[in-house]
Structure 1
Amino acid sequence: MSDLKEDTKIIDKLGYGMLLAFVGGFMDLYSYIVRGNVFATGQTGNFVLVAVHLVQRNYIETLHAIIPIVSFLLGIFIAWHLFYSHFKEERISWERGILAIEIFILFITGFVPCSYPNIIANTFVSFAASFQYCAFRKFSTNEDYASIFCTGNMRSCAENLYNGFLKKDKQCLKKALRYSYILISFFAGAIIGSFESVILHEKAIWSVSAVLLVVLLSSFLSNTAIFKNAIQFKGSMKEHF
């Protein structure tokens, strides 16, 4: 197996999907609690807030809800531009670059005081979230998922549960279990994010940078002999038990 395929196999494992889902839940609670009750990751809530504030003629709040939407769209454009122009369609290098940029942006966000306009921090968080959403779309055995919100993951989990229980498809039950891990990780990120946001305020986002740094650094381990030997050892143990 080539290094590229080996890297792809490593970075798409379930554990990485769970960590990224944890980050998604954390960022949502952070932006809502610390940065003015705005959802900076999934944009559905912001579209609803725009409509509500427009009807109420609260134009300042409308602008606050629009900014994350625009930032998210801009992030998608830039992420794909980097993929084609800078990384020359090399997926693993692109994913690592995306992680590095996201880590840096969120680290900078932690220095933006709560006394500053929330638009600044929410723009950063939405931009970083769009990068993550754009680059990481699959986990485990090539299953589609969204790491920054959970609606689609809930649908996939429910569909696989239906096929697993009513159609007796064991593979679907396994998929449903993997999606449940993703959902639990998102929920855990939201819970921990809420506690840290209350205690650490704007600096709580640094925990997200730390988790993403773990993902980034561990992705390089797939090229080391120690990591590959560990995988082979794990496989041989499964054969014996």
Structure 2
Amino acid sequence: MRHHIEASSKNDTNQEFFLECEKHWVFWSLILVGGFYGAYTFMARGGVFCNAQTANVVLLSMAIGSGDWEKALYLLIPISAYFMGAILSEFLAKKVKRFRMLRWDTILVGFEIPVVILLGALPASAPDQICQVTLNFICSMQFNTFRQNEGIPMATTFVTNHIRQTGSNLVKAVRDKDPKADLRWKMHGSMILFFLVGGIFSTLLCEAFSVRAIWGIIPVLFYTFIRLMIADRTYERELLAKVPRGHS
């Protein structure tokens, strides 16, 4: 097993070993999921985005400024859900590591599957806030858990920074002939592309299946979960205590 890991490390382009949960394919899969969730809540569950909270904080400040306290209190719900998702994922990651069975990263992806099944089973008449807050919570945990894509800091639930990094690193790659910048702009650009694909896929399914459309992302989650679980139980079993990059 140790020889297998060492061989994998030597074969890596950067002569570095990356855990399976840090690989490109994982981040591509998860940002596709992030794009899917965002389009789903906007198309089928209340016309809001669940991926990040910048817009909700802006709306909160506007509500407070205009004295609309009812709306301000309402907006605190998704913001608080996002806040609690980060706290819970940070807490559980430490707890889970002690058991040396599966990584928290793997468990989180597996946890998303039954949640998505339940959300898709809700009737269209169910309050949209149930789905919105639940996905806020999940997106926060996913954002806080998956932090670096083979050594490159990245988010899997929104693309604002990916757009900035693509432009910034493209200039450095062309102007300075920087090979690291060349890799970075391509990787950040690919994240934007997969996010778009997730959003397009979600939109098409929502138009055809309405609230049941969320089930369409289950194959991606299931595939990701199975591959991560195999890594945890076989060739990375001895590395379950190793902390992914970006975490202390």
Of 38, 49, 54, the residue aligned with 2:48 is 38
Q: How many Å separate the matches in 1 of 2:188 and 2:124? A: 35
CA 1:91–1:16 in structure 2 vs 1: closer, same or farther (change >3 Å)?
Answer: farther
Opposite residue 104 of structure 1, the aligned amino acid is P
Find the counterpart in structure 2 of residue 70 from structure 1: 80
In 2, the alpha carbon distance for the partners of 1:90 and 1:137 equals 21
Q: CA deviation at 1:89?
A: 9.0
Q: Which amino acid aligns with 1:164?
A: A
Secondary structure of residue in 2 paired with 1:110? helix
The equivalent position to 1:102 in structure 2, one of 109, 112, 121, is 112
Q: TM-score, normalised by structure 1?
A: 0.82
- Give the root-mean-square deviation of aligned CA atoms: 2.7
* Structure 1 unaligned residues grouped into runs of 5+: 226-241
Structure 2 equivalent of residue 126 of structure 1: 136
Give the structure 1 partner of residue 209 of structure 2. 200
Q: In structure 2, do the counterparts of structure 1 residues 71 and 8 end up closer, same or farther at CA, with 3 Å as the change threshold?
A: same
Mapped partners of 2:170, 2:101: distance in 1: 32
CA distance in 1, matches of 2:209, 2:80: 28
d(CA) in 2 for partners of 1:77, 1:92: 20
The match for 2:179 is 170
Q: Give matches, 1:106-185, under 5 Å.
A: 106-139=116-149, 141-185=150-194
AA partner of residue 130 (structure 2): I
Mapped to 2, the partners of 1:212 and 1:84 lie a distance apart of: 23
Q: Is the counterpart of residue 29 in structure 1 residue 46 in structure 2?
A: no
Distance in structure 2 (CA, Å) of the matches to 1:122 and 1:148: 14
User: What is the match of residue 19 of structure 1?
Assistant: 29
| Residues 66 and 95 of structure 1, relative CA distance in 2, 3 Å threshold | same
| Contact 1:138 1:145 (8 Å CA) reproduced | yes
Q: 1:169 to 1:86 in 2, by over 3 A?
A: closer
Contact conserved, 1:83 with 1:91, CA < 8 A, in 2? no
SS in 2 for 1:116: coil
TM-score in terms of structure 2 length: 0.80
Answer yes or no: is the 8 Å Cα contact 1:110–1:206 preserved in 2: yes
- In the alignment, is the contact (CA less than 8 A) between 1:50 and 1:62 conserved in 2? yes
Aligned 8 A contact 2:96 2:103 in 1: no
Q: Deviations over 1:4-56 (max 9, x none)?
A: 89795323221211111111111111111111112211111222233345556
1:90-128, Cα deviation, whole Å (9 max, x unpaired): 696111111112222222111122211111111111111
Question: Percent of aligned pairs with the same residue?
Answer: 24
1:86 Cα deviation after fit: 3.3
1:103 and 1:60, CA in 2 relative to 1: closer, same or farther beyond 3 A?
A: farther
Structure with the largest fraction of helix: 1
Deviations 1:183-216 (A, max 9, x none): 1000111111112122211111112232111101
Which residue matches 1:234?
none
Q: Which moved more, 1:31-40 or 1:215-224?
A: 215-224
The whole-number CA distance in structure 2 between the counterparts of 1:103 and 1:26 is: 14
1:49 counterpart = 2:96 = no
Q: Structure 2: which amino acid aligns with 1:146? A: A
Q: CA deviation at 1:80?
A: 1.3
Checking the alignment, whether the CA contact within 8 Å between 2:202 and 2:213 is kept in structure 1 is yes
Q: Distance in 1 between matches of 2:127 and 2:25?
A: 36
Name the CA distance, whole Å, in 1 between partners of 2:207 and 2:85: 28
